Structure 1
Amino acid sequence: MNPEVLVDRFLMAWGEPDPAVLQERLAELCHPDLDYHNPVVALHGTTALADHIAGLSSLIGTRRLTRTTGVQAAGPWCRYGWALLPPVPGMSGETALHLEAERIRRVVSFHGPLPARTYTAGTAR
């Protein structure tokens, strides 16, 4: 599957209100041994991710995750920017996916902009 299509389908799954349909979509898109990491949680498996999505859905209501950039691929990895719409401060970022047999095996997602670099005495500028 084209990485751009895979990413878009993955983001659409985050808006699925029916738990059974969500689990089906994740099972189609993700490897059974999926690993998911963001600054707040580390999860293993599609069931854990479905539970995480359901919990998040109760907080964000009708807002939806939307891809805000193109999808850049490098070997088995791809990355893209995303945002929650309508906007919520801090709920945008970048995600990297590791694909295995055209399914998502690993997800690493970051929220918000990168922090500014701080300089201390003796460090390169």
Structure 2
Amino acid sequence: MKFMVQTLAAVGELQRDLQRELTYDGLRTAEAKGNMGGRRPVLAGETVADVRTAYLEGQSLAALAREHGVSRGAVRTAVADLLPEHVADESAPVPELPVTLDMPGKVAGFLRAAELDDAGRVALDHGVAVRRGTG
């Protein structure tokens, strides 16, 4: 009985590995042909240009979504490189956003017992805002 279960497990693992390889082969073949994977964008063509222009003129994402009958996510995808959090230059530093630590007593107690760097210890003890990567 044990041997049979082990054999079935090995066959299942072999099948999963084979399926994974076939999937990767298909993705590489499609990429070589120039096909992109994933879902097609809802907004395309001139509609994207209109949405981008309206966004630059100050219209909100929600208003654009209502106007074009799509989700805010679709509008966000169309204007992704125009959003403040988009960084066009890879070498440019990412802006640091302040993070405030506010946690229940058990979590704070656990962190007090953990080894933290100086910035993390100050933030935990005094409740000050720290920037990402410094605490």
After TM superposition, the score normalised by the length of structure 1 is 0.22
Between Structure 1 and Structure 2, the one with more helix by share is: 2
Between Structure 1 and Structure 2, the one with more strand by share is: 1
After TM superposition, the score normalised by the length of structure 2 is 0.20
Structure label with greater radius of gyration: 2
